Structure formats: C-alpha cells, structure tokens
C-alpha cells in the first residue's frame, strides 16, 4: 500500500485507526530507549572472559611503570593488523577514540599540523558527510569549526562535491568519515570513493581526513564488507600524510572501558607524539596488556565478534522485519537501511515528519536519537532522518519499540498527508 496514492478518506481512516492505537500505547506507560549505540549486557558478558586475566603473570614488569607513550608493542601490532598498517604507524590511546579525535583537532587548531600554520588562524572548515555521527559534529561545533554538509549515497560521500570543495577552499582542513558500516546509514565506502579521497587534489596542503574506523570488525553477516586501505592508497597517490585513522575496542570489549588507537603516517605519528608527550607520560599499558591477553589475534577477535553478532543480529532483524511487515517496502512514507554491520539502522520517513515522529515516540515512552542529531548543528533540512540503535534494548522491549515506532510513523505521515 502506497500511502501517497490513497484518497483523503482512506488516509483519514488510517489516521483514526493509528490515533486509537497510539492512545492505547500511551496509556501503557512504556519506557524504552533505542537512542544510543550501546552494547547490551549479553554482549558485555562475553567480555567477562577478559577479567580472568589468563596469562597476566607474563606481563613485562615495565608495563606497570611510566613510559612507552605510544603504547605496548603487542596491542600496536594487533591494531596494525586490524587496520592494515605498520605497527610504527600506530599510537595507542586511553579508553576513548573520540578523545583522540578531539585532542587531534585541538592540537591542529592550536599548533598546526607538522609545523604548519595553526588551523585556528585560518577559520578551519570541515566536510561532514550526512547523515553522520553526532559526536563528530559536536566537536567541530564546540571548537567553532564551520561544517559543510556533503550528502551520502550508496557508495559513500558524494565525491564530485567533495573534490570540488577541497580543490577550491584552502580553509577546508578536515573531513569526517565513518567509512565502514557508517554511522548511521550502515554504508561502506566503495573502492572508487576511497581511491578518490586518497588521490584528490586539495588546496590546503595540511588537509586531513579523520577516518573513524569504529566498526572495522563489527559485521552483522558472516562476510565482512570490503573497505579499501586508505593509508595504502594515500601513499600510492603521493599523499602519505592525509589520513588519521581511529578505532577502539569499545564495541569489542567494554564500551567506554576499552582501548583506542590512532594510526597515521610516520610523519603524523611524530607530530602527534611531539605534543602528546606534554599531555601525559603514558596511557594505561596494564589495561592494554589485559586486552592483548584476551583479544590475542585478529582471528580470535573475529571469533569474539561472531559471538556478539549472534546476540545482536536478531535485534536488527526484528526491527527490519517489523518495518517490512508493518510499513511495507513501497509505503511511500518510509524507507530503512538493512546494514551489514555497525550499530545503527537509518529510518527515512516522509520529508518534514522526522521531528513529529520523534516527539510522538517520546510522548509514548520511546526515546529515539533526536531528529536532526545526525546532521551538523542538529539541522536536517528535510527533517526525514531517524537513527535507530537496536543493540542495547532487550528483545521484548524491542518489540514494544518497533510497535510504537511503526505506529508513530504511520500517524505522523498520514497526519502530514492530510494537512497537504
């Protein structure tokens, strides 16, 4: 059934039915939250294995002391293998890759990149593929970095637009990317997009891509999406210093209590460490070693992620199936992603309806990520994008969530169609 082809009378009937259902839902006093990409307790229970500390007696004694600013070799090697870079290109951080991103931007603003002019001096701008990760955009907004939207399509950011912008504006200093299982669309950048990002001409010689590879091993299918190796492609294209790549174990071990890293060219690594050495003596190497004991190898990480997949894939399926069953593929009022990995489903509703859906859900006890959040300054001009985070919620609550969500989508959209 395509809502847009219905008569006013038919719409009014649906509206009335949905309104009655909505009122009945509200009266239940539900309280469900699918706003943030948090692992659920069953996932975190898998990580409890880590706290057995098997092999801890083999920890080199020096790891308990100051020093080794760039982290322990075991974890540098492991992250290097995951990201396809050299261990010498990896700096281990604390528990938060977001913190590494924030610090990197702060340093570049204040001190410049590799001896260049401080970004602060030139009114730095960032390209922001949209929809994207709200916390990336929040950092830019906090630092007063102007954000320029770039639409995402199935292959990644619109590269014609990106190339044109970076070629002509020297104040464009950075670009946010979540290249694999993108937050929130689930898209993985195509080889062609990655190649173009690596080889494009930029007016700013100190332009940097912030490659947030948060979901590098976070598959929802047995097969992983292929993502081209941007560090390698940048080197080939003669732009070896173009990328900072970030990742963490926040959704492999404990969320907010994992370990993180930044990978970059040796030039960039040297530049980062020259500032980082003022900031701290070393990050938590004991925790790094505990992670190494648990994670062991890339293959073992894949096995761990398979266990987590078994927990969360049904949650994604439950939502997608509910949309298929209750909205239908050609409703004309909503489409959604069915991602191969990552932590989010993007629900795209009719233009000018997302905020209404969000508010209706909220009043019915369902907390969503605020409409607009996946856009710079919280502004979704089409007001159509909603981000859904299925992982944290229990299976029974997810049923409630989808029931509320489907009802609110139908209600908001018929309401809108009746207005027009």
- 67 makes contact with a copy of itself (CB under 8 A): yes
Q: Which of 17, 275, 296, 362 is in the footprint of a copy of itself by CB under 8 A?
A: 275
- 287 makes contact with a copy of itself (CB under 8 A): yes
- Least distance to a copy of itself, CB of residue 255, Å: 5
Residue numbers 289-308 binding a copy of itself by CB under 8 A: none
- Least distance to a copy of itself, CB of residue 323, Å: 26
Residue numbers 85-114 binding a copy of itself by CB under 8 A: 94-96, 98-99, 102-103, 106, 110
Residue 91 CB: number of other CB atoms within 10 A? 23
Q: Which is nearer to a copy of itself, 5 or 58 (CB)?
A: 58
Q: 355 near 371, Cβ under 8 Å?
A: yes
Q: Which of 20, 167, 221, 281 is in the footprint of a copy of itself by CB under 8 A?
A: 281
- Least distance to a copy of itself, CB of residue 65, Å: 5
Selected range binding a copy of itself among 190-198, 220-228, 248-256, 293-301, rule: CB under 8 A: 248-256
Angstrom distance (rounded) from CA 160 to CA 165: 9
Q: What is the DSSP letter of 173?
A: E
Q: Which residue has the tokens 């969503």?
A: 368
Q: Which is nearer to a copy of itself, 71 or 156 (CB)?
A: 71
Q: How many residues bind a copy of itself (CB under 8 A)?
A: 46
b/e 239-277 (16+ beta carbons within 10 angstroms → b): bbbbbbbbbbbbbbbbbeebbbbbbbbeebbebbeeebe
Residues in the chain: 420
Look up residue 130 and give its two tokens. Answer: 């949209």
Query: In sequence order, what are the residues at sequence separation of 6 or more whose Cβ sits closer than 8 angstroms to the Cβ of residue 233?
Result: 194, 195, 197, 198, 199
Site string for a copy of itself, 331-370 (x = CB under 8 A): ----------------------------------------
Residue numbers 131-190 binding a copy of itself by CB under 8 A: 135, 138-139, 142-143
Q: How far is CA 146 from the centre of its chain?
A: 20
Q: Which of 51, 273, 363, 381 is in the footprint of a copy of itself by CB under 8 A?
A: 51
Selected range binding a copy of itself among 47-55, 169-177, 184-192, 311-319, rule: CB under 8 A: 47-55
- 256 makes contact with a copy of itself (CB under 8 A): yes
Q: Which of 180, 196, 285, 416 is in the footprint of a copy of itself by CB under 8 A?
A: 285
Q: In this structure, what are the phi and psi dihedrals at residue 363, rounded to the nearest 5 degrees? A: -65, -25
Angstrom distance (rounded) from CA 31 to CA 401: 9
Selected range binding a copy of itself among 169-177, 229-237, 247-255, 264-272, rule: CB under 8 A: 247-255
- Least distance to a copy of itself, CB of residue 272, Å: 14
Residue 49 CB: number of other CB atoms within 10 A? 12
- Least distance to a copy of itself, CB of residue 264, Å: 20
Q: Which is nearer to a copy of itself, 62 or 267 (CB)?
A: 62
Collapsed DSSP state (helix, strand, coil) of residue 244: strand
Query: In sequence order, what are the residues at sequence separation of 6 or more whose Cβ sits closer than 8 angstroms to the Cβ of residue 278?
Result: none
Q: In what order do the strands lie in the sheet with 334-336?
A: 334-336, 345-349, 385-388
Look up residue 406 and give its two tokens. Answer: 């489907």
Selected range binding a copy of itself among 162-170, 229-237, 278-286, 337-345, rule: CB under 8 A: 278-286
The stretches of 84-123 forming alpha helices (DSSP H) are: 97-111
Burial class (CB in 10 A: 0-12, 13-18, 19+), 134: buried
Q: State the residues that interact with a copy of itself by CB under 8 A.
A: 36, 38-39, 41, 44, 47, 51, 53, 56, 61, 63-67, 94-96, 98-99, 102-103, 106, 110, 135, 138-139, 142-143, 250, 254-257, 275, 278-287, 392
């Amino acid at each position: 059934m395509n809502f847009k082809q219905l008569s006013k009378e038919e719409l009014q009937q649906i509206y009335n039915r949905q309104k009655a259902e909505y009122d009945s839902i509200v009266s239940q006093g539900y309280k469900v939250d699918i706003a943030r990409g948090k692992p659920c307790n069953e996932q975190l229970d898998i990580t409890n294995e880590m706290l057995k500390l098997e092999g801890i007696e083999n920890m080199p004694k020096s790891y308990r002391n100051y020093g080794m600013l760039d982290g322990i070799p075991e974890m540098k090697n492991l992250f290097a293998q995951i990201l396809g870079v050299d261990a010498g290109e990896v700096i281990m951080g604390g528990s938060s890759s977001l913190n590494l991103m924030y610090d990197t931007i702060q340093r570049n603003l204040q001190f410049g990149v590799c001896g260049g002019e401080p970004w602060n001096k030139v009114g730095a701008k960032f390209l922001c593929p949209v929809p994207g990760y709200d916390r990336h955009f929040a950092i830019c907004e906090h630092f007063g970095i102007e954000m320029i939207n770039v639409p995402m399509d199935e292959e990644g950011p619109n590269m014609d637009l990106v190339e044109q912008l970076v070629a002509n504006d020297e104040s464009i200093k950075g670009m946010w990317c979540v290249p694999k299982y993108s937050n929130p669309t689930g898209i993985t950048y195509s080889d062609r997009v990655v190649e173009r990002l690596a080889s494009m001409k930029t007016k700013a010689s100190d332009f940097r891509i912030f490659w947030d590879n948060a979901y590098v091993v976070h598959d929802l299918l047995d097969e992983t999406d292929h993502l081209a190796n941007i560090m390698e492609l940048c080197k080939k294209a003669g732009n070896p210093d173009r990328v900072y790549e970030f990742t963490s174990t926040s959704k492999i071990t404990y969320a907010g209590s994992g370990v993180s890293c930044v990978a970059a060219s040796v030039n960039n690594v040297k530049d980062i460490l020259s500032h980082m050495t003022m900031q701290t003596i070393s990050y938590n190497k004991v925790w790094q070693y505990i992670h190494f004991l648990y994670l062991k190898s890339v293959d073992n990480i894949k096995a761990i992620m398979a266990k987590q997949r078994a927990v969360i894939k049904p949650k994604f399926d439950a939502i997608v199936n509910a949309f298929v069953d209750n909205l239908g593929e050609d409703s004309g009022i909503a489409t959604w992603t069915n991602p191969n990995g990552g932590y989010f489903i993007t629900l795209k509703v009719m233009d000018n309806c997302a905020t209404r859906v969000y508010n209706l859900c909220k009043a019915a006890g369902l907390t969503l990520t605020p409409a607009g959040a996946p856009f710079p300054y919280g502004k979704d001009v089409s007001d159509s994008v909603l981000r859904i985070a299925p992982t944290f919620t229990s299976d029974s609550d997810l049923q409630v969530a989808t029931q509320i969500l489907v009802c609110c989508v139908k209600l908001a959209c018929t309401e809108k169609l009746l207005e027009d």
